[in-house]
Chains A and B, each alone.
Chain A
Amino acid sequence: MGALLQEVCARAEALQVPLSVHLDLTYRCNERCVHCYLDHDDHGELTREEVFRVLRELACAGTLILTLSGGEPLLRPDFFAILQYARALTFSVKIKSNGLLIGPSQASLLREYGVQQVQISIYSHKAEVHDGITLVRGSLERSLDAIRRLRSYGLSVTMATPLMSQNFGDYPGVRALAAELGVPVTIDPTITPKIDGDTEVLRHRISGEQVQSVFRDSALVGDVQKFSECAPVDQDDLMSYPCSAGHTFCYISPYGDVYPCVQFPLPCGNVRQQTIKSIWWDSPEMERVRSIRIGDLHTCSSCANAGGCSRCPGLAYMEGDMYGPSSADCEKSFARTGVLPNNWEHRKSRSLIQIDLGVRATA
Chain B
Amino acid sequence: MFVARSSSVAARLLEEEMVIMCPRTSKLFVLNPVGTAIWNALDGDKPLDEIVKDRICTEFDVELETALAHANEFVKQLSEHDIVMTAEHPLPAKDPDTQTGKVV
Q: Is the CB of A64 within 8 A of B21?
A: yes
A4 / chain B contacts, CB cutoff of 8 Å? 28-30
Q: Is the CB of B12 within 8 A of A64?
A: yes
B100 / chain A contacts, CB cutoff of 8 Å? 90
Asked if A116 is at the interface (CB within 8 A of a chain B CB), the reply is yes
B13 / chain A contacts, CB cutoff of 8 Å? 62
Q: Is the CB of A90 within 8 A of B103?
A: no
Partner of B99, one of A65, A88, A115, A116: A88
Among A11-19, A193-201, A296-304, A337-345, the one that faces the other chain is A11-19
Among B2-10, B46-54, B56-64, B67-75, the one that faces the other chain is B2-10
Asked if A114 is at the interface (CB within 8 A of a chain B CB), the reply is yes
A117 / chain B contacts, CB cutoff of 8 Å? 26
Question: Nearest Cβ in chain B — how far from A68, in angstroms?
Answer: 13
**Contacts A8-B28, A88-B99 given; does A15 touch B9 at CB 8 Å:** no
Q: Is the CB of B26 within 8 A of A156?
A: yes
Q: Is the CB of B21 within 8 A of A60?
A: no
Contact with B along A68-101 (1 / 0, CB 8 A): 0000000000000000000111111100000000
Q: Is the CB of B14 within 8 A of A114?
A: no
Asked if A232 is at the interface (CB within 8 A of a chain B CB), the reply is no
Q: Identify the closest chain B residue to A112 (Cβ).
A: B8
B7 / chain A contacts, CB cutoff of 8 Å? 87, 114
Q: Is the CB of A89 within 8 A of B30?
A: no
The secondary structure that dominates the B interface is: loop
Question: Nearest Cβ in chain B — how far from A170, in angstroms?
Answer: 28
Question: Nearest Cβ in chain B — how far from A222, in angstroms?
Answer: 22
**Contacts A2-B28, A88-B95, A88-B98 given; does A62 touch B12 at CB 8 Å:** yes
Question: Nearest Cβ in chain B — how far from A15, in angstroms?
Answer: 6
| Contact residues on A (Cβ < 8 Å of other chain), bracket | 20 to 34
**Contacts A4-B28, A56-B104, A60-B104 given; does A92 touch B23 at CB 8 Å:** yes
Q: Identify the closest chain A residue to B17 (Cβ).
A: A11
B8 / chain A contacts, CB cutoff of 8 Å? 114
Asked if A63 is at the interface (CB within 8 A of a chain B CB), the reply is yes
Asked if A177 is at the interface (CB within 8 A of a chain B CB), the reply is no
Q: Identify the closest chain A residue to B9 (Cβ).
A: A90
A91 / chain B contacts, CB cutoff of 8 Å? 10, 12
Asked if A363 is at the interface (CB within 8 A of a chain B CB), the reply is no
Asked if A5 is at the interface (CB within 8 A of a chain B CB), the reply is yes
Asked if B78 is at the interface (CB within 8 A of a chain A CB), the reply is no
Q: Is the CB of B14 within 8 A of A89?
A: no
Q: Is the CB of A92 within 8 A of B21?
A: yes
Asked if B15 is at the interface (CB within 8 A of a chain A CB), the reply is yes
Partner of A63, one of B12, B15, B99: B12
B14 / chain A contacts, CB cutoff of 8 Å? 8, 11-12, 15, 17, 19, 62, 64
Question: Nearest Cβ in chain A — how far from B15, in angstroms?
Answer: 6
Asked if A59 is at the interface (CB within 8 A of a chain B CB), the reply is yes
Asked if B34 is at the interface (CB within 8 A of a chain A CB), the reply is no
Q: Is the CB of B98 within 8 A of A64?
A: no
Q: Hey, which bits of chain B sit against chain A, CB under 8 A?
A: 7-15, 19, 21, 23, 26, 28-30, 95, 98-101, 103-104
Task: Report 15 cross-chain contacts, Cβ distance below 8 Å, ordered by A residue.
Answer: A4-B29, A4-B30, A17-B14, A19-B12, A56-B104, A59-B12, A59-B104, A60-B103, A62-B14, A64-B21, A65-B21, A90-B99, A116-B21, A117-B26, A156-B23
Given contacts A56-B104, A64-B10, A64-B14, 10 further A-B contacts (CB under 8 A): A5-B28, A8-B30, A19-B12, A60-B104, A88-B98, A93-B10, A114-B8, A114-B10, A116-B21, A116-B23
Return the 3 tightest CB-CB contacts between A and B, nearest first. A92-B10, A64-B12, A114-B8
